[in-house]
Every structure is written in structure tokens, then in C-alpha cells.
Structure 1
């Protein structure tokens, strides 16, 4: 894996997927993983988006091929903005197309707030937006769960979710709630879910969203003047964020648009790769990524 040095000397690794001779075109698409603090390998090739864009997937510090920092406080989301900027500088890009998934949405939003002149487009896939003071709630999760009543695993999953909330969940309960995150609970989804533990730096995840990381009022003021198109893509069946919350997130940006992928959960590129790729690649084309 290619590597670079962060400003504090931490080794950062990234993967490059897709080549122009494979059909990938335009500027690279910088991809920030979620988890939080899950290695970028779980993103795969984003359902084949690598055939349309060259993907540069950053392993956040302490995950995947990246090194662990001397100071664990640098796992905090706002402290990692400098790592994204270091990657941009390393690649020699004046402006970037930036894509973030899930908890990576907070990092991408903070990057756009701090370096608005460096962002050409921003794509938030099931993106979290605590950086803007917007988040999902327990009731949002319950609302989304009710959409899955017809699934054979629904009753066990709902009971397990309540056990998680009560703090009495067993390992089996944690496993039982996982299908809610996928639009289709099949062999591919199961294999994807099984990789989470090994791919995640749990200690770093605990520090990532420390309250000190976020100043929503300041972030909202900063992105209110963002000269970049923003896409917020939500899964129809996802509770984090619900589609209507995705609309709220998009409204924080001058050129923000929300789209809902039918039948998708929290990992929409797995549920319908074709739909996902067309939606994201089409947005990037319109945003000037070519």
C-alpha cells in the first residue's frame, strides 16, 4: 500500500482502486471510511464505482495499513482533518472530490468546514452529521426497524435491539441486530458483517466522537458558504440517517441534494451496486469531477 506521513509523523496508508485504462475517469475520488475507525477495506470497490472513478481510500490512523499515533488523543475526529489534508497535499491535488461513509461523514464535513477552498464536491453515503448538530436517535432506529417486519429475523432482531439499549445484550443479541444494517440479509451481507471486528480499532472508535470534537454552530457557519455541490445518499431502510434526516443534512449546504436509494440499508453499494454507482458517478459528473 502507498504511504505518507501525517504532520505528527504517523504513517498513513491508502489504497488506489481503478485505473483510467479500466474506464475510470476524472479526478481521483478520496474516500473516508466510517465505523467509526474501521479500515477502508470494508468499502471494497464501492459496488464497482472504481470502474467510473479512481478511488483513493484512506486508512484512518490506527486502522488497516496505517500506523498508530503516539498520542491517542489524535484519534479525535477533528484532529484527523489534518490527515485528510496531508493526503490531498501528497497527491498534489488543488481541489478534491471527497466521499465519506457513515461516521466518516463527520470527518468529511469538518474537512469541508476548515478547507472549503479545497473541496470540489462532497458525497456523504449514509453519512453521520454530528459535526452539524444532526444525529440519529433511538426512535429513528425503531422507526427504520419497523420497515423490516416481513423479514424472518425481525422479531429476534427487535428483541435483541431492546436488550442492547438496556445494557443486557449477549453476544448473540449483538449478532441478531446486524441484519437491520443491510437492505438484503444474504451471504454477501453476512460475510461483510463478519469483517467488522477485525477491521475496527475499538479504542480509537471510543475517542473519535469525543464531545470536544464538534462545534456545530461554527461548522454550520463555515459550510454555509461552501462553493461545492454536496450529495447526501441515504438508504430507504436505514435508520442512521433516516431519509428525512438526510434531507435535513443536505439543507445545511448551499448546493446540497439528498437522494434515497430504494431498498437499501447502511451499506447501499452492497444492496444494489448498479443503482449506487449510477447515482454517485452521475452526481460527480455534474459536479465537475470530469
Structure 2
């Protein structure tokens, strides 16, 4: 397992899987170890994935200063990874909360991004967040599921008070609540650093007007992928996030929730592969 050193001396872990042109991958959570991303629906067949464990998660060290868990401060870790890999420009994929980190990176280092893939990315960095109404509208699309009646009241309670989270709501985040989804969900507790997650989006992490202005100068092609059944973000919110980039397109994966590579790996990997096909990341 490769490691490298962040600017403040924290040792960060990198998990490398697959063969082909490099693709740097930022996990969500926020602050969830990259193990949950697996092979991203088989992308490892054609891409060499470099999956970063953010500081304090997975196999990366806990930093001396907990304030460095803040999203904007993690940008320096991503830049240190690029330098470690020796890439002048890199293809970058980010999931969920990691999408805001990728946006901040692209805003600060637009010349270092070859292509960017945002997968069910929550655009906090743009000043946008899913509303309770968004999440309820998406949840009601699942009325025909056998688990819906028992899970929906708990989902409503969670939206009123996040402290009321009940694992019974987990199916709402997956397009298919099958054995693979259950195993994926069961691993979440041991993969997440909840204390770090509290800091990730804390005061000062985001400056949406400045980020939007900077991203308007980012010429890298961007793919924004949403799940048709996902409530955070819903497809409309994902499309609005795409509008922050000069060269972006959005696509909605049918029947997918927040983890689309689990719901239909072939569809997901085909879309991402097609987008990345022309993106070669030259080396320094």
C-alpha cells in the first residue's frame, strides 16, 4: 500500500487497483475510508484507480490538528497526491461529499485537472444542498418496495432531526436493496470517522461565490452523474451543479441511488469510460 506525506507531515494512504491510465478517486462520507468504493463498477478493467484515504480515515494517519479535516484544507492533500504520482494533469473522480473537495481543488488548481467526474456529488461548495423536500420526493418514488412502509416514517424523523437516524432507512440510499447493498451499508460504521465529518463542512470551509467565479475559468471537461432515485442530490440539483462549469454535461442513471456503481455496474462504468476515453494525463 503506497503512502505519501501531506504538507503538514501527515502520512496518507493510497490504494491502487486495476490497470490502465491513472484515475485519482476522492471518497465521500464525508470522511469515509475509500474501501467502500470497491472497483467502481469494474472501472479497474480499464483504469488504474488511485483511491485516497483522506486523513484520519482508513489507513491514513490521524493529523495532529483536527482542524485540517475541513474540506478546503484537504485541497492541499489532493495536490500533494498529484505531485506524488508525478502527473502534470490528472483525471479526477469524486463521490458524494468528495465532490465538494474536487470542486475546491478544480477551483484552486484548474490547470491540473484533465477531466473531472462528479458522482452523486453533493454541491456544498457551490452553496447548494439537498432539501428535506428533495429527499422526501425521491423517497416516495420507492412506494412499491416491500420495505417502504416500515422505513418511511423513520426517514421523515431523520429529516426532522439527524440525531434520530435509524439504519432502517438505508434502502433509500440504494437503487437495489439486495445482498450487495446490505453488505456495503453494514461496513459504513467502521469505515467512517464521525468526528472528522463534523469538521469537514464547518464554518469557513466553503465560499460559494469565490468558488463559482474560479470554476468559470476551469476549462476541463466535467461529467456530473446523478442517480434517478437519489435524494441527495436529485437530478435537478446535479444539473444545476453542472452549470458552474464551462464544459460540463450531466447524465442520470436509471434506477440508481446514491451508489450507482452498485446498482448497475455495467451502465455506470460504460458512462464513465466513454467520458474518460479521450483524457490522457501527461506526466511531468
Q: State the TM-score bracket (shorter-chain normalisation).
A: over 0.9
What corresponds to 1:43 in structure 2? Answer: 37
Number of residue-to-residue matches in the alignment: 282
Give runs of ≥4 in structure 1 deviating > 6 Å: none
Kept in 1, the 8 Å contact 2:117–2:225? The answer is yes
Q: Say which of 174, 177, 196 aligns to 1:185.
A: 177
Q: Distance in 1 between matches of 2:97 and 2:177?
A: 22
What corresponds to 1:283 in structure 2? Answer: 275
Kept in 1, the 8 Å contact 2:5–2:12? The answer is yes
What corresponds to 1:71 in structure 2? Answer: 65
Structure 1 pair 167–225 and aligned structure 2 pair: CA distance change class (3 A): closer
Residue aligned with 2:141, SS: helix
What corresponds to 2:104 in structure 1? Answer: 110
- The 5-angstrom pairing of residues 214-253 of structure 1 reads 214-253=206-245
Kept in 2, the 8 Å contact 1:163–1:169? The answer is no
- Superposed displacement of residue 162, structure 1: 1.9
- Superposed displacement of residue 109, structure 1: 0.2
Residue aligned with 1:57, SS: strand
Q: Say which of 119, 127, 131 aligns to 2:113.
A: 119
- Superposed displacement of residue 167, structure 1: 3.4
- Superposed displacement of residue 271, structure 1: 0.3
Residue aligned with 1:266, SS: coil
Let me know the Cα RMSD of the aligned residues: 1.3
- The 5-angstrom pairing of residues 141-152 of structure 1 reads 141-152=135-146
> What's the CA shift string for 1:166-220, capped at 9, x where partnerless?
43966xx611110000000011100000000000001000100113100000000
Q: Distance in 2 between matches of 1:220 and 1:111?
A: 12
What corresponds to 1:136 in structure 2? Answer: 130
Kept in 2, the 8 Å contact 1:234–1:243? The answer is yes
Q: Distance in 2 between matches of 1:148 and 1:242?
A: 14
**Structure 2 unaligned regions, length at least 5:** none
- The 5-angstrom pairing of residues 252-263 of structure 1 reads 252-263=244-255
Structure 1 pair 168–221 and aligned structure 2 pair: CA distance change class (3 A): closer
Q: Distance in 1 between matches of 2:86 and 2:215?
A: 24
Kept in 2, the 8 Å contact 1:121–1:228? The answer is yes
Structure-1-length-normalised TM-score: 0.95
Q: Distance in 2 between matches of 1:218 and 1:161?
A: 34
Q: Say which of 201, 204, 224 aligns to 1:212.
A: 204
What corresponds to 1:6 in structure 2? Answer: 6
Q: Distance in 2 between matches of 1:83 and 1:239?
A: 29
- Superposed displacement of residue 77, structure 1: 0.3
Structure-2-length-normalised TM-score: 0.97
What corresponds to 1:22 in structure 2? Answer: none
- The 5-angstrom pairing of residues 88-103 of structure 1 reads 88-103=82-97
